[in-house]
Structure 1
Amino acid sequence: MAQINSCLKRTFIGFNLFFALVGAIILCLTVFAQIVTNGEDDDIENRTYGLICLYIMGAVTMLLGLLGAYGAYKEHKISLIVFLVCMVIGSLVMIRSGIPTAVLRPQVEGFLEEKFSELLPLNMATISQKHFVNNMQTSLHCCGLFSYTDWNEDIPSSCDCPSDLDEESDTCKQVVGMNRYPFLKQSRSIYSKPCFPILMHYVLLVADISLGVVFTLAALAVLGMILSSIMIHQLRHPNKTPVVYKVPTIFIPGPPKYQELQNDLPPPY
């Protein structure tokens, strides 16, 4: 006989199947990211560490979802208790990591601005720093960190606009700068936007998405805690067999034990 409410049981199973699906999606995206970045040798140690973390997160999420769905379907108390413990730990970890990140988010822009200011002027930066900025300028279509003057007059070719964008004033602009030859000044079409505001837009976007994911997972973990706790309580205290009370038979009075004596004799004269 089922000891868990059927509506609660179906809701919990659906919740955990969705949880398992999220874990499977994380694993698939991780495999895709590994295939795409397989040929890149830059910063391979950090890439491997990130992929391992994603694999672990996806596998744990999928296994917990399957464990919770199995425990609800079979009404297995041990599986539900393990699931509850994992949800408690997961919610604490998510809240512990999410709250400090949310507090530090407004300070990210100031921190990065200070760090990038240390690279100025860019024409005096190290080779690795110049390589980083040049790659950013090429991919983001920008020039300089805060302005094209960050390069002084030694503006690199990564700032040059393609010829088909020369007429677009909002994207490109004409400047007079030196390039490799100090004695030769020439007019050039370069990207008009600096890189730092564009970079900050993507950094804050990633931070907001990450915070949304963390707090969403924390809310799901709390919901899983509540549902699993109710199911464990129902398994520990199942509904008792209802007691059937017999309705007593309606009492039908029998003949009186005595009858009033009536004098049928005629009254005396």
Structure 2
Amino acid sequence: MADSTVPKKDGIWETIKTVFWALVIAGIFRTLFFQPFWIPSGSMKDTLLIGDFLFVNKMAYGYAAVSCPFAACPISGRILGSDPERGDVVVFRHPTRNVDFIKRVIGLPGDTIQMRGGRLWLNGEEVPVTPAPDFVETKEQQGPQGLVPRCVNDPVAQGDDCIKQRFTEELPGGASHSILNIVDGWVADDTPTFTVPEGQYFFMGDNRDNSEDLRFPQEIGGLGFVPAEYLIGRADRIMFSSAGRSLLYFWTWRPDRFFKAVE
């Protein structure tokens, strides 16, 4: 009869191997298929709010991300999949700053894009917008960074309603989404005409007066055009959302945003 007091070394070793391979599989899954992303700023309001947590579909465009030790190098290689479409919300690596951004695809290769008086012009035609109810949020610090929103009705006291004008913008092809306006005559409300190079994309934030995007060139710290190889994946669905500065603040959770589709 076996002595039950003898340590079962084989059992311990099997457990270690199981944990090891579980971590390897999880790492591969994260690398190839999905990547978590936490919304840190308000550039995509009201589509995405500070504190929204989502998984990025890395296979949407057939790119599998790999680590990149340098600021100005691609982070993915194309293996299969479709191309981004106008209106997609995409996470990508900034071409020069080695940080991840999330914005909406506005321009495809070959498109011409210009802002005139705060309105988007695409391939020589004004993109139609329809007025929608104002977006209202509380004027208070948001997220771990304690960011305070800008408002159409500034100055606004802490704790009062912060209002932004909201419109529905319809891109060619039928994709529509909300955009916000804070102030008329903002520095990026009028731009030169941009022509999107082959193999690159033009991104903008939905919160148009609070978005660091291609309207600001890389030479002054802006985004510039984004080459396809810097795309990480498409944001399809919000999994969790918290309005507080910590996940532990359960009273700040936003259950109405759990599992909400990104449109």
Q: TM-score, normalised by structure 1?
A: 0.23
* TM-score normalised by the chain length of structure 2: 0.24
Structure ranking higher in strand proportion: 2
Q: Which has the larger radius of gyration?
A: 1
